[in-house]
């Protein structure tokens, strides 16, 4: 399963990208995370259904310094498998 995830709230400058990378590594998913110009954090997460769903649930909680006010996600087709997870911006 591949999902694009957008997280809004107080999610930049609070360690959210590093939190997301750690959660992704814990669940063995591939993809990437980056800050957006409008203050959100965007992710692409790919892996087994159970792992992607677990990552999305953890993102909704966020790290202690963050305040997540909303999360949007949509399933996307897998065109080229992603095996590693990285912080891209």
What lies within 8 Å, CB to CB, of 39 at 6+ separation is 8, 11, 12
- Virtual CA dihedral for 54, 5, 86, 60, nearest 10 degrees? -50
Residues with catalytic function: 17, 35
């Amino acid at each position: 399963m591949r999902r694009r995830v957008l997280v809004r709230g107080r999610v930049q400058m609070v360690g959210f990208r590093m939190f997301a990378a750690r959660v992704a590594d814990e669940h063995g998913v591939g993809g990437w995370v980056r800050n957006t110009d409008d203050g959100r954090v965007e992710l692409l997460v790919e892996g087994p259904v159970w792992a992607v769903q677990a990552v999305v649930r953890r993102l909704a909680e966020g790290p202690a310094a963050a305040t997540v006010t909303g999360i949007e996600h949509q399933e996307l087709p897998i065109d080229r498998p992603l095996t590693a997870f990285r912080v891209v911006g």
